[in-house]
A and B are shown apart, each in its own frame.
Chain A
Amino acid sequence: MSRRRVIQCALGGSASVLLSNQPLFAETAAPAATPPPRPARAKSVIQIWLWGGPCHLDTFDPKPEAGTDYCGPFGKPLETKVAGIRINELLPVLASQADKFSILRGMTHGINAHETASYVMQTGHPEGDRIVYPSVGAVVSLFKGRAAGYQGQIPPYIVLTEPQGRFSEAGFLGSRYKPFATGGNPAKTPFAVEGIVAEGFSEERQRARRDLLHRMDTLAKDMPQHPAIAAMRRCEDDAYDLILGNGAKTFDLNQETPELRDKYGRSTFGQSCLMARRLVELGVPYITINYKGWDTHKQHFQIMRRQLPEMDKGVGTLIEDLASHGLLDSTIVWWGGEFGRTPKVQNESPWNGGRSHYGKAFCSMVAGGGFKGGQVVGATDARGEEVASRPIYPWDLVGSIYELLGIDTEATLPHPLGLTARVMPGKEEKLKSGGRLHEIM
């Protein structure tokens, strides 16, 4: 078996050929990827997950006419590059890129609890009774990862920088489809990617240590053929391929110009966006940027003043940069959180100017990979409280993303217990739906 093959198996690709004769360490086999129903437009996805729920009124669906009870201090939205589309006044970079992305103002699911809303948004499945579905990233790494020919050394599903932790991303697919979380902080030098980049350790010391480990591993030396020990050894080989191979170079943001790094913003979020572009260049199919800090029950507007410019520089520059590298056509950028926030500002104690969870109406944004730019899909009412036209349910959005990736939404997923589970909910589930986003695809 080739080295490449070994890495693929261990770092969460598919094909469990390697492990098939080892009862103790065997895993359930992944299926062969079903042939896509139509050619894929997109090769990669960058999911910008605003953890906690960003307010639709204060980002891509401003409502200055509703008055300060609703829009707070943000009464002067920016006109964007696309006539008639306005966004929050603190988002000038995004405004200058508005021809490249589309705003989904009709998002709705009606769930106000973080956990359940995150599950529904990140899986595209309604809350079920006994099946916990995998997240979009896990599904993409199943269908676009090793089995579909992804050859990179970097695992196919990367999280910058911490896992979301609100539900099990891999769902029933199991832990080999979990994302690789980088840890560390890309705004620092070096970007100490957990496990791959160890600050202050020369390559020479790494090699010397590995040699020492082999000399000291008495039990393994006694029986290298034991299936459990052989499996451990394969994992070690794969790990060192990343430590001593190209892994470290990939994550070295100093390979980019200081000007570009400044443009993204030297924040953890901004540099994560830049890192995501580098990963897309290497062909990594799915990258999630977990962006914390959007659950703003209190001090909402103070936090927005600080955070919106940071978000704007990161996302706006990412879209521009992807386009200038010729990558935007094949890369979906998906921006959003689990829900929106209460349109009417909560001025009463203890919130004193905060916004709560709001799943009835909110917005997301998509760009690239076959999504048209400069469009608005759906609309909320005058106060942003109800979807007034063209509702978009989580499965409408997620199904559209799969379509662009060429993933058959009718395909079955391998359930370890053989239960029937499909990529997207079928018609028999009779879910409310506004339909996939064909108007912008």
Chain B
Amino acid sequence: MPREPYEASSFSVPPCRIDAIIFTRLAKDGLVPALPCSDAVFVRRVFLDLIGTLPTGDEVAAFLSDKASDKRNKLVDTLFKRDEFADYWAMKWCDLLRVKAEFPVNLWPNPAQAYHRLVHTCLADNLSMDRFARGLLTASGSNMRVPQANFFRAVQSREPRSLAAAVSLVFMGVRQDSWTPAELDSLAVFFSRVGYKSTMEWKEEIVFFDEAKPAAKGPVNMPDGQLLPVPPERDPRSVFADWLIQPNNPWFARNLANRAWYWLLGRGLVHEPDDVRKNNPPSHPELLAYLEKEFVSHGYDMRHLLRLIVNSRTYQLSCIPVGDNPRTLELFGAYPIRRLDAEVLIDAICAVTGTGESYSSAIPEPFTFLPDGSRAIALPDGSISSSFLELFGRPARDSGFESERNSNPSAAQRLHFLNSSQIRSKIEKSSSLGKLLRNTGAPNNTATQLYTDILCRPPTETEKSLVREVLGAATNRKEALIDLTWALFNTTEFLCRH
């Protein structure tokens, strides 16, 4: 029996190749996938996963009342065109690229903002990922005028081996320590002629192909067994980019396919998603190969990958697993419940309450202040922060590892939500509370508004009667409404993707 309001009795999308692989694998272990998720769950889930933003009450209502059979696919396509799509994915990419003005990366504010803007534009324009990567890997020029050039500045050490390690982590999903010293030395050859020089402009720095540095002594032995010639007159970085971005390269496309899966489903097919190595095989090799092939054959189109995944039945499972075998969750037999990312969570509270936050960076001088009401997912620079974001595990952007983002719950975070002045004052000032106070009509309307605004779904009958009971027993209507709002903010459903 589907559980109200989270589950539906049948799928809204046809089965696809992803589902065949996932469901077969589950069956092999005698495990059963969860039921399909309801429309109400889907709309909230796909908004959060694709644009890091809650749907408004109107958006939820429009989706729920839409009778079209392909409404889920259509919704996905509209989300790709939203500004928040680029905001949210730029945030993720800037985590990996360590876009941060200050310590320990030290990009400095202007270049950090230019770099973020570039990433944002590439994502908004859906630039193919091979061109995106090539742009970063081969750029030369000023950190302020050629934002791509910051790729080789967003590192703590400019030694060729460190540059190779940074490239390998982001674009190959391989950690420095997974290479043998000889392999790392080979990769380092391609970054041994990166030059840096300052200019008369304050904090400007030029990244360039430094022909004065010694060229490779001969062909380089690549980790895939190829012997790659590096002509002395060519920037070795572009030789590397040519090698990396070719359809049969075993790392580039696979890494991005694996990360896309991880970003949407909380666990990489190779897990951790940036720990590709021989003795860490994927849970579903066939699926990873399929996603990789699709990605390459569609011109390294990231949206194609995302679309394939979110339009699958696997993605559209409910979050309520069947049985209590933990393998069900590891094998993607239910949608994973995860606390909202720090930025998404504060934006959600601000959106629901109609309040804003102010963000600033006290370092380096001169300080950076963003206009009030700026959204956290759109912050351009890791040095611009707030205590909320720190508390809820926003990555420091020190290392570029996916695990730097910590979305685990903690008691300190719960204290903040249950009892802090920040959350309390947002609830008290909230525009929806004002609306509820003015509207003294039927308690059922109150329940509907509360649930749609905060949990993005209408209340069930049980929930309506609970709200009726609370309001009926209240001596102070305002206090009761505040308590109801507070309680909904503290539910698992609000705090998590589900």
A residues within 8 Å of B by Cβ? Answer: 7, 10-12, 21-25, 27, 113-116, 119, 127-130, 132, 155, 162-163, 165-168, 172, 174-176, 178, 180-181, 183-184, 192, 194-196, 198-199, 201, 206, 208-209, 212-213, 215-220, 222-223, 225-229, 231-232, 235-236, 238-240, 242-243, 416-419
> By the criterion CB–CB under 8 Å, are B408 and A119 in contact?
no
The answer for the CA separation of A115 and B483 in the assembled complex, in Å, is: 42
The answer for the CA separation of A196 and B419 in the assembled complex, in Å, is: 7
> By the criterion CB–CB under 8 Å, are A165 and B390 in contact?
yes
Identify A24's interface contact among B336, B470, B488, CB under 8 A: B336
Identify B403's interface contact among A181, A199, A416, CB under 8 A: A416
> By the criterion CB–CB under 8 Å, are B460 and A218 in contact?
yes
Identify B362's interface contact among A165, A175, A181, A227, CB under 8 A: A165
> By the criterion CB–CB under 8 Å, are A166 and B156 in contact?
no
The answer for the CA separation of A375 and B406 in the assembled complex, in Å, is: 45
- Please indicate the chain A residues that have their CB under 8 angstroms from the CB of B102 in the complex: 115
> By the criterion CB–CB under 8 Å, are A223 and B408 in contact?
no
- Please indicate the chain A residues that have their CB under 8 angstroms from the CB of B398 in the complex: 132, 168, 172
B466 at the interface (CB under 8 A from A): yes
The answer for the CA separation of A12 and B412 in the assembled complex, in Å, is: 9
**Count of B residues near A, CB < 8 Å?**
73
B426 at the interface (CB under 8 A from A): no
- Please indicate the chain B residues that have their CB under 8 angstroms from the CB of A232 in the complex: 339, 409, 414, 492, 495-496
Identify B385's interface contact among A11, A165, A195, CB under 8 A: A165
- Please indicate the chain A residues that have their CB under 8 angstroms from the CB of B3 in the complex: 222
Identify A115's interface contact among B177, B336, B363, B419, CB under 8 A: B363
A to B CB contacts below 8 Å, 6 in the list: A22-B326, A114-B363, A167-B103, A213-B490, A216-B484, A219-B493
**Given A165-B362, A219-B6, A235–B103 Cβ distance below 8 Å?**
no
Chain B residues numbered 193-219 whose CB sits less than 8 Å from any CB in chain A: none
- Please indicate the chain A residues that have their CB under 8 angstroms from the CB of B391 in the complex: 178
> By the criterion CB–CB under 8 Å, are A227 and B326 in contact?
yes
B residues within 8 Å of A by Cβ? Answer: 3, 5-6, 102-104, 156-157, 159, 162, 165, 175-177, 266-267, 319-321, 324, 326, 329-330, 336-339, 362-364, 385, 387, 390-391, 393, 396, 398-399, 401, 403, 406, 408-416, 418-422, 424, 460, 462-463, 466, 470, 483-484, 486-488, 490-493, 495-496, 498
- Please indicate the chain A residues that have their CB under 8 angstroms from the CB of B393 in the complex: 175
Identify A113's interface contact among B329, B364, B416, B460, CB under 8 A: B364
> By the criterion CB–CB under 8 Å, are B157 and A11 in contact?
no
The answer for the CA separation of A11 and B409 in the assembled complex, in Å, is: 11
In addition to A166-B363, A180-B412, A216-B484, 9 A-B residue pairs with Cβ atoms within 8 Å of each other are A23-B330, A162-B387, A168-B396, A183-B420, A194-B419, A201-B419, A209-B486, A218-B462, A242-B411
CB distance from A72 to the nearest CB of B (A): 23
> By the criterion CB–CB under 8 Å, are A11 and B104 in contact?
no
> By the criterion CB–CB under 8 Å, are B415 and A243 in contact?
yes
Q: Which chain B residue shows the least CB distance to A114?
A: B363
The answer for the CA separation of A414 and B151 in the assembled complex, in Å, is: 29
The answer for the CA separation of A184 and B488 in the assembled complex, in Å, is: 25
Q: Which chain B residue shows the least CB distance to A297?
A: B365
> By the criterion CB–CB under 8 Å, are B416 and A219 in contact?
no
> By the criterion CB–CB under 8 Å, are A178 and B336 in contact?
no
Q: Which chain A residue shows the least CB distance to B480?
A: A212
The answer for the CA separation of A166 and B385 in the assembled complex, in Å, is: 10
Identify B412's interface contact among A195, A226, A240, A243, CB under 8 A: A195
- Please indicate the chain A residues that have their CB under 8 angstroms from the CB of B415 in the complex: 194-196, 239, 242-243
> By the criterion CB–CB under 8 Å, are A209 and B483 in contact?
yes
> By the criterion CB–CB under 8 Å, are A7 and B411 in contact?
yes
- Please indicate the chain B residues that have their CB under 8 angstroms from the CB of A222 in the complex: 3, 6, 320
Q: Which of B410, B420, B422, B460 has the largest number of chain A CB atoms within 10 A? A: B410
CB distance from A209 to the nearest CB of B (A): 6
> By the criterion CB–CB under 8 Å, are B177 and A212 in contact?
no
- Please indicate the chain B residues that have their CB under 8 angstroms from the CB of A213 in the complex: 486-487, 490-491
> By the criterion CB–CB under 8 Å, are B463 and A23 in contact?
no
CB distance from B81 to the nearest CB of A (A): 31
**Given A129-B157, A212-B487, A174–B419 Cβ distance below 8 Å?**
no
A-B pairs with lowest CB-CB distance, top 8? A195-B415, A129-B157, A238-B411, A239-B414, A115-B103, A228-B337, A168-B396, A10-B411
**Given A181-B387, A209-B486, A231-B409, A218–B493 Cβ distance below 8 Å?**
yes
The answer for the CA separation of A149 and B396 in the assembled complex, in Å, is: 30
> By the criterion CB–CB under 8 Å, are B411 and A239 in contact?
yes
**Given A219-B498, A222-B3, A239–B162 Cβ distance below 8 Å?**
no
Q: Which chain A residue shows the least CB distance to B162?
A: A129
- Please indicate the chain A residues that have their CB under 8 angstroms from the CB of B103 in the complex: 115-116, 119, 166-167
CB distance from B471 to the nearest CB of A (A): 12
The answer for the CA separation of A160 and B91 in the assembled complex, in Å, is: 31
- Please indicate the chain B residues that have their CB under 8 angstroms from the CB of A113 in the complex: 364
**Given A115-B102, A166-B363, A181-B387, A228–B411 Cβ distance below 8 Å?**
no
> By the criterion CB–CB under 8 Å, are B416 and A194 in contact?
yes
The answer for the CA separation of A181 and B413 in the assembled complex, in Å, is: 11
Identify B408's interface contact among A194, A209, A231, CB under 8 A: A231
Identify A225's interface contact among B324, B460, B462, B484, CB under 8 A: B324
Q: Which of B364, B414, B421 has the largest number of chain A CB atoms within 10 A? A: B414
Q: Which chain A residue shows the least CB distance to B4?
A: A218
Q: Which chain A residue shows the least CB distance to B275?
A: A417
Q: Which chain A residue shows the least CB distance to B161?
A: A129
**Given A178-B390, A180-B412, A216–B156 Cβ distance below 8 Å?**
no
> By the criterion CB–CB under 8 Å, are B492 and A220 in contact?
yes
The answer for the CA separation of A417 and B338 in the assembled complex, in Å, is: 23
The answer for the CA separation of A381 and B291 in the assembled complex, in Å, is: 68
- Please indicate the chain B residues that have their CB under 8 angstroms from the CB of A27 in the complex: 408
Q: Which chain B residue shows the least CB distance to A226?
A: B337
> By the criterion CB–CB under 8 Å, are A176 and B410 in contact?
yes
- Please indicate the chain A residues that have their CB under 8 angstroms from the CB of B462 in the complex: 218
> By the criterion CB–CB under 8 Å, are A215 and B418 in contact?
no
Q: Which chain A residue shows the least CB distance to B466?
A: A215
- Please indicate the chain B residues that have their CB under 8 angstroms from the CB of A231 in the complex: 408-409
> By the criterion CB–CB under 8 Å, are A235 and B410 in contact?
yes
Q: Which chain A residue shows the least CB distance to B422?
A: A194
**Given A129-B156, A132-B104, A417–B175 Cβ distance below 8 Å?**
yes
> By the criterion CB–CB under 8 Å, are A218 and B463 in contact?
yes
Q: Which chain A residue shows the least CB distance to B159?
A: A129
- Please indicate the chain A residues that have their CB under 8 angstroms from the CB of B396 in the complex: 132, 167-168
Q: Which chain B residue shows the least CB distance to A130?
A: B156
**Given A24-B266, A116-B103, A239–B491 Cβ distance below 8 Å?**
no
- Please indicate the chain B residues that have their CB under 8 angstroms from the CB of A21 in the complex: 326
**Given A115-B363, A235-B413, A242-B415, A212–B470 Cβ distance below 8 Å?**
yes
